Amino acid sequence: MDWGLKNRLSRIIKPETGRTVMLAIDHGYFLGPTSGLEEPKETIKPLLPYADSLMLTRGILRASVNAQDDVPVVLRVSGGTSVIGKSLANEGLTVSMEDALRLNVSAVALSIFVGSEYEKETLLSLAHLVDEGQKYGIPVLAVTAVGKEMNRDARYLSLCCRIAAELGAHFVKTYYCENFTQVVKECPVPVVIAGGKKIEEKAALELAFNAVSDGAIGVDMGRNIFQSDCPVGMIMAVREIVHKKAKVKQAFELYEEIKHKPR
């Protein structure tokens, strides 16, 4: 692997632990002003010191992150659809590699929609993005988006992750599922998990714990952090699990402690 690409990846996946806590705040690219992300700048501010990287769009990067902030950026470069449109799967590339370079990103991310009517287009976009990234040493994160009609099971998610890796993705984001070890084993590149819809804090910590125990290198978590009643407590607790191999009980106690700390 080329030096620049390795260097960028190591800004996201911390060499000390081989793991990562990515903060996903890209939801607005198809959902608009998502709950908890109405004012991204305010959401991000207290969380920045605890995020190994920020996953977000070009517009929110420009508007809500200071150029002086030392946080690696994973730039979402796919989109073009909305939650009220015809098909979420009909995504295209939204940012050129030149602009990603100008923005000094550490990686670019796009969604693939395996099994959807736009499977081929999104997979070819991934292959194209990998080619562009190879020119400049920019790693590519493939996000295995799941359409309403798809099962989030190991068979389907393994298929998606493996195809993403075969097409050259440098790391893959998917969902946790039963038999997740199979998904990780059959995917030759590192796997991170999305948090999914907001659930109880303890359950979200269990999800993170199970994912890393089953071989994920970390999380790219959004709503279960920024929609929590204590986002800072939650991201700190997730870090304890991911980087310090803490048990759920210990991490949950940390979350509770931060939540009840007088401000």
Shortest gap between Cβ of 263 and ligand 5RP (angstroms)? 26
CA distance 57 to 104: 13
Shortest gap between Cβ of 259 and ligand 5RP (angstroms)? 20
Under 8 Å between Cβ of 220 and 192: yes
> Is the CB of 29 or the CB of 252 nearer to ligand 5RP?
29
Shortest gap between Cβ of 198 and ligand 5RP (angstroms)? 8
**Among residues 221, 160, 241, which one has the least CA distance to residue 24?**
221
Shortest gap between Cβ of 194 and ligand 5RP (angstroms)? 4
Give the type of residue at 243. Answer: H
Which helix or strand (DSSP H or E) is residue 172 part of? Answer: strand 171-174
Q: Are strands 92-93 and 78-79 parallel, antiparallel or unpaired?
A: antiparallel
> Residue 257 to residues 18, 75, 125, 195: CA-CA distances in angstroms?
27, 33, 45, 22
Residues that bind ligand 5RP (CB under 6 A): 24, 26-27, 55, 111, 143, 145, 194-196, 220-224
Under 8 Å between Cβ of 56 and 75: yes
φ, ψ (nearest 5 deg) of residue 28: -60, -15
Q: Residue 213 contacts by C-beta under 8 Å, 6 or more apart in sequence?
A: none
Which residue among 14, 173, 198, 244 is the active-site one?
173
Structure tokens at 106: 């550490």
> Is the CB of 137 or the CB of 147 nearer to ligand 5RP?
147
Shortest gap between Cβ of 196 and ligand 5RP (angstroms)? 5
Shortest gap between Cβ of 2 and ligand 5RP (angstroms)? 26
Is residue 173 part of the annotated active site? The answer reads yes
> Is the CB of 75 or the CB of 154 nearer to ligand 5RP?
75
Structure tokens at 260: 């009840």
Structure tokens at 10: 């190591």
> Is the CB of 86 or the CB of 197 nearer to ligand 5RP?
197
Q: Running DSSP on this structure, what letter comes out for residue 231? A: H
Q: How many residues does the chain have?
A: 263
CA distance 187 to 172: 9
> Is the CB of 8 or the CB of 27 nearer to ligand 5RP?
27
Catalytic residues, which ones?
173
